[in-house]
Amino acid sequence: MLKDTKLVRELSLLDSILLLASGIIGSGIFLTAKDVAGNTRSPLLFLSIWVIGGVITLLACFAFAEMGAMFPEAGGQYVYLREAYGEFVAFLYGWMIFTVSVGGTIAALGAGFALYIGKVFPALAADQAVWAVGSFTLTRGHLVAVAAIALQTLVNIYGVRRGAILQNVATWAKFAAIGIFVLLGLVLGKGSWSHYSASLPSSVNDPSFIISVGVALIAVFWAYDGWVYITWVAGEIKDPQRTLPRSLVLGITIVGVLYLAINAVYLYALPMATIATDEAVVQTAAVSMFSGSVARWLALMIAVSCFGAMATGIMTGARVYYAMAEDGIFFRAFARVSPRWRTPVFSLVLQGIWASALALSGGYTALFTYVMFMMVLSYVLTVVALFVLRRKMPDAPRPYRCTGYPWLPGLYVILGSIWAIIAAKEKTRETGYGVLIVLLGVPLYYYWRRQKQAAARAD
Is 0.75 topped by the overall pTM?
A: yes
Question: Is residue 30 a part of any domain in this protein?
Answer: yes
Question: Is residue 92 a part of any domain in this protein?
Answer: yes
Question: Is residue 175 a part of any domain in this protein?
Answer: yes
pLDDT of res. 2:
38
| CA distance linking residue 395 with residue 63, whole number of Å | 17
Question: Is residue 8 a part of any domain in this protein?
Answer: no
pLDDT of res. 263:
92
Question: Is residue 182 a part of any domain in this protein?
Answer: yes
When divided into structural domains, the chain yields a total of 1
pLDDT of res. 370:
61
pLDDT of res. 176:
86
Domain with 126 in it: 13-458
Per-10-residue mean pLDDT of the chain, 459 residues long, equals 61 89 81 84 91 93 94 91 95 90 84 83 73 71 89 85 76 84 86 86 64 80 86 88 92 93 92 84 83 77 84 87 90 84 89 89 59 82 96 93 95 89 76 81 92 80
Question: Is residue 3 a part of any domain in this protein?
Answer: no
pLDDT of res. 276:
87
Residue 8, judged by CB atoms within 10 A of its CB (0-12, 13-18, 19+), counts as middle
- CATH (domain of 170): 1.20.1740.10
209-224 helix and 240-269 helix, angle to the nearest 10 degrees: 120
Question: Is residue 1 a part of any domain in this protein?
Answer: no
Question: Is residue 336 a part of any domain in this protein?
Answer: yes
Of 92, 400, 102, which is closest to residue 229 (Cα–Cα)? Answer: 102
Q: How far is CA 421 from CA 155, 214, 374, 412, 413, in A?
A: 41, 9, 12, 14, 12
Q: Give, in degrees to the nearest 5, the angle at Cα 328 between 327 and 334.
A: 90
Question: Measured between alpha carbons, how far apart are the two ends of the chain, in Å?
Answer: 21
| CA distance linking residue 286 with residue 268, whole number of Å | 11
333, amino acid identity: A
Q: How far is CA 404 from CA 62, 81, 129, 240, 435, in A?
A: 8, 21, 56, 21, 32
pLDDT of res. 451:
87
